[in-house]
Amino acid sequence: MEPAGIAILFILFVAFILLIWKDAPADFVFIGALILIIVLNLVPVSDALVGFSNEGMLTVAALYVVALGMKETGAIQFVIHKLLGTTRSEFKAQSRIIGPVFGMSAFLNNTPIVASFIPAIKDWSKLNQIPGSKLLIPLSYAAILGGTCTLIGTSTNLIVNGLLIESKQVSMNIFDPAYVGLPVAVVGIGYLLLFSRKLLPNRSSGFASFDNTREYTIEMIVPNNSTIAGKSIEEAGLRHLPGLFLVEIVRKERIIAAVEPSEILQKQDRLIFTGVVDAMSELQKISGLQPATEQVFKLDAPRNERHLVEAVIAPSNPLNGMTIKEGEFRNRFGAVVLAVSRDGERIKTKVGDIRLRTGDILLLETPRDFTQRFRSSNDFLLVSTLSTDGNLNTEKAGVAWLILGLMVGVAAFGLLSMFKAAFLAAGAMILTKCCNFSDARRSIDWQVLLVIASALGIGNALQVTGVASTAAGGFIGWAGVNPLMALIAVYLATWLLTEMITNNAAAALIFPIAITIADSMGVSYMPFVMAIIFAASASFSTPIGYQTNLMVMGPGGYKFTDYIKIGLPLNIAVATVALLLIPVIWPF
């Protein structure tokens, strides 16, 4: 082995120590390791920076924008609200979560999907009195299993495919992983539904309680173009809203109190809700409803670029003693009052007729800069942003689904590479205003991309300096002339590395070693490529190896040992199925 290779191994050894024992940020560690390799001139700069032009890494960046378009248009949230329903059964609850998450994760990056489901499951678990700890690990695991079924389901698959294109000038089809992914998913989902209720802790979800919080009354209207006009209260999903209660419906001059679930909604119905502040944010996202005040349509900012803000009236506020209408609140402050809470209780008067007092808490719909402009103002004692998500642009949901479908279709039929299809889809999301350019730029997780690009560069350095071939020789010496033993060794090495660092970094580091093993044995490289894909994605037994596992750890109130208890048997089951099927589908 060359001295440069020994130096790279030492740098990697220090990097692993920082990642595993010192809990250093992965992007800092990997970019730092790559910089050291460049500064010490261990490999040419062009070889070290090869990861930054990798098609797989760039495709991941484009898919972040596609996922944002799906989220901003409410396309994902629509599926959530339609499919979850209501139940008190933990088995049914898990089934309703696992199914849609599995299906969606096959075609969208699973990180934004899990991020979208977490708040929905938060509310749903409270409503159905099911501990969040019984639902959130299955959410993460279902997203991981779904991602293994297509080339675009996880960033790991795209990274490995990008490496395959560079090394062998061969690209996988979008559905190639499904040959093993679907059987693995059947086993994984079956395991979750049969055993997770016993293995998962019955623990507080970590979400704040709705008890003892201030209440508001808010008036919403069913507009003429509403998608819920003609549906019953139950069909529209307005019967069991967490933290909210539908008090009455105002229909022309008639008031309908004690609203029945079977009551049919009509155009221009005014719905009076009471509830807590957190629920008001969710109410704004329900498709087919709008705030009854016409003032929201007079703000300059588009609704999907506005924030929900709470502001407390100060003694020096010039509108003290005046009604909201008399004081022309919107013209004066550039924001619209949606509801008012006084002494922690709701005010039943119509919003425009409420006479403001010092200490009143206003729920406002505002442009993005409102909090910054009025945080130090004498007009308000306190200004706090509740939600930065904005209101969903649901009119574009169909467009977003069409763009996603076309992207999957042209890639599946080989009309375009996944790289080109993803970038065209990302551009289409912006051009059709499913999301705007500034939000698209912010949606990209640059830390993840830095880790991927740096790990790819380090992996290439291992190959250039001969470390990969030396490691491959060691594997071959252990496996003898049996390629199946070598395949098992590659799988185990990728899996263990994934649980210690991250899945993308593990795949990038093991790939050159696996390709060298296949070439040295004179066998097909595809079984080894597929082993890396499934081993790097099968990160169930620690929260570190996969980002979605880490995302649900806090909200679910999980401990590190919870992942080992439920995840290790699943790791073994997935490995067994994958290693049995891979040599059959892709022979040596």
pLDDT digits (tens, 9 = 90+) for 517-573: 888 888 999 999 999 999 988 888 877 667 678 667 767 878 878 888 999 999 999
Using CA atoms, how far apart are residues 37 and 44, in angstroms rounded to an integer? 9
Question: What's the CA gap between 10 and 420, in Å, rounded?
Answer: 38
Burial (0-12, 13-18, 19+ Cβ within 10 Å), 352: middle
pLDDT number for residue 345: 63
pLDDT band of 388, cuts 50, 70, 90:
low
- List the domain boundaries for the chain: 3-25+32-53+446-585, 62-205+396-443, 215-387
The predicted pLDDT at position 414 comes to 76
What is the per-residue pLDDT for 36?
A: 92
Q: What is the pLDDT of residue 264?
A: 92
Dihedral, CA atoms, 25, 29, 30, 34, nearest 10 degrees? 150
pLDDT at 144: 92
Are 157 and 147 contacting, i.e. CB atoms less than 8 angstroms apart? yes
pLDDT for the residue numbered 295:
57
- What's the CA gap between 365 and 38, in Å, rounded? 50
pLDDT band at 206 (very low <50, low <70, confident <90, very high): very low
Q: Look at residue 216 and give its three-state secondary structure.
A: strand
Instruction: Write down the pLDDT at residue 580.
Output: 95
- The more confidently predicted of residues 236 and 205 is 236
Does residue 244 or residue 195 have the better pLDDT? 195
CATH number for the region 215-387 comes to 3.30.70.1450
pLDDT at 23: 65
What was the pLDDT predicted at 211? Answer: 43
- Copy the structure tokens of residue 509: 């580091």
Q: pTM of the full predicted structure?
A: 0.62
**pLDDT tens digit string along 317-373?**
899 989 988 888 888 888 888 888 887 666 767 788 889 988 888 888 888 778 878
pLDDT at 415 over 70: yes
